[in-house]
Amino acid sequence: MKSKFDMREWLRDRTADVAVDDNLLQQSGAARIGKALIQASVIVHILMPVLTVAGVILAISFPALAQTPGGSIFGGNDQTVGNAVREAVKWARNILWMMGVFGVIWGIFNYTFEKNCMKQFLGAVGCFGFGGIAALAQSFSQGQAVTVDTNLSQ
């Protein structure tokens, strides 16, 4: 009996049901990758009960780990939640603006090569529109008034 555990031999024994021609394995990289993925799935399948128990233990312990000694979740600062919301709105505004810019560029690229481009332009307009709404929400969250120039700067 062997005292050393040979992982390759163990995997070959477990994946013996998968019949892949040796000639195909030598010629095809995709076949080798597929066989390696099958072997990895065997390992995950064997470890699944352990992973499930560990996941359940972690999920059960989260409420206990979330408790703080002083009972203060945000460190005593009542502005933490408001600041987080303002930052999230700012990030959303910037990401939507960038998505609009890339949508316009993608639409122009598709128009240049005579492909369908209207979806990209409409998506870009939607991103700019929602980005404008997010910018408006950020202005309101900072206490800034938004004025509408009815004189058109004359």
Q: What is the pLDDT of residues 12-37, one digit of tens each?
A: 676 666 667 888 888 888 888 887 88
Q: Answer yes or no: do 60 and 87 share one domain.
A: no
Token pair belonging to 83 = 């600041």
Contacts of 115 (CB under 8 A, 6+ apart): none
What are the CA-CA distances from residue 139 to residues 91, 107, 144 (Å)?
13, 30, 5
Q: Answer yes or no: do 18 and 50 share one domain.
A: yes
- Give 128: exposed, middle or buried? Use CB within 10 Å, 0-12, 13-18, 19+: middle
Q: Answer yes or no: do 133 and 84 share one domain.
A: yes
User: Which one of 2-6, 67-71, 127-131 scores highest in mean pLDDT?
Assistant: 127-131
Structural domain of 101: 80-141
Token pair belonging to 53 = 């128990």
What are the CA-CA distances from residue 152 to residues 6, 30, 56, 73, 149 (Å)?
79, 64, 62, 48, 6
In a domain, 1, yes or no: no
| Domain count for the chain | 2
Q: What is the pLDDT of residue 75?
A: 64
In a domain, 2, yes or no: no
Q: What is the pLDDT of residue 23?
A: 86
